[in-house]
């Protein structure tokens, strides 16, 4: 009798695990947005690339050239040494966060990798100038987004 219950329980578990509606980890169907908060104001960011698996297992990708984004993006006016807060519409289960900051010098960009911030807080540079940031957030192999924003340090 115990053997029958075990087999029945095993079949029920297999059914739920193989069911397309049952998921251990549910991520949003579309990629999350990210904004930058500074001095109580919220600033939208642009998407410079994404891979986001949807319910059907397909992947959506979108990308913009950094130079085009640089030219078309209005900078966030900031003071040196202040906090920028990165706010994700879905921050749960972010596995990796890679951040690059670049300063435009003449006609080139000088890139520096930023350490992954605690609590998604970034400190603005001490030197005046325009800076661009790319924030690459990775949830898993099929879910990652690269966000773009620009600041002007006064």
Q: Give the Cα separation of 135 and 7 in Å (integer).
A: 49
Mean pLDDT value of segment 69-77: 94
Would the pLDDT of 104 be above 50?
A: yes
Q: CA separation (Å) from 71 to 3, 38, 132?
A: 69, 22, 11
So what's the pLDDT on residue 101?
96
Mean pLDDT value of segment 82-90: 96
Would the pLDDT of 17 be above 50?
A: no
Would the pLDDT of 7 be above 60?
A: no
Question: What residue ranges do the domains of the chain occupy?
Answer: 27-153
* Paired tokens of 133: 């940031």
So what's the pLDDT on residue 94?
93
Give the per-residue SS3 of the chain.
CHHHHHHHHHHHHHHHHHCCCCCCCCCCCCCCCEEEEECCEEEECEEEEEEEECCCCCEEEEECCHHHHHHHCCCEEECCCCEEEEEECCCCCCCEEEEEEEEEECCEEEEEEECCCHHHEEECCCCCEEEEEEEEEEEECCEEEEEEEEEEEC
Please state which CATH number belongs to domain 27-153: 2.60.40
User: Which range, of 2-11, 47-56, 70-79, averages the lowest pLDDT?
Assistant: 2-11
């Amino acid at each position: 009798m115990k053997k029958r219950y075990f087999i029945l329980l095993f079949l029920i578990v297999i059914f739920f695990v193989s069911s397309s509606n049952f998921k251990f980890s549910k991520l949003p169907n579309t990629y999350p947005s990210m904004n930058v908060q500074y001095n109580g104001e919220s600033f939208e960011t642009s998407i410079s690339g994404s891979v986001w698996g949807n319910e059907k297992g397909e992947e959506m990708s979108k990308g913009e050239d950094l130079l085009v984004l640089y030219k078309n993006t209005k900078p966030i006016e900031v003071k040196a040494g202040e906090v920028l807060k990165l706010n994700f519409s879905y921050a749960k289960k972010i596995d990796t966060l890679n951040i690059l900051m670049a300063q435009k010098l003449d006609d080139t960009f000088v890139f520096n990798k930023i350490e992954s911030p605690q609590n998604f807080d970034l400190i603005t540079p001490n030197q005046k100038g325009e800076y661009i940031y790319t924030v690459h957030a990775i949830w898993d192999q099929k879910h990652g987004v690269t966000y773009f924003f620009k600041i002007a340090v006064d």
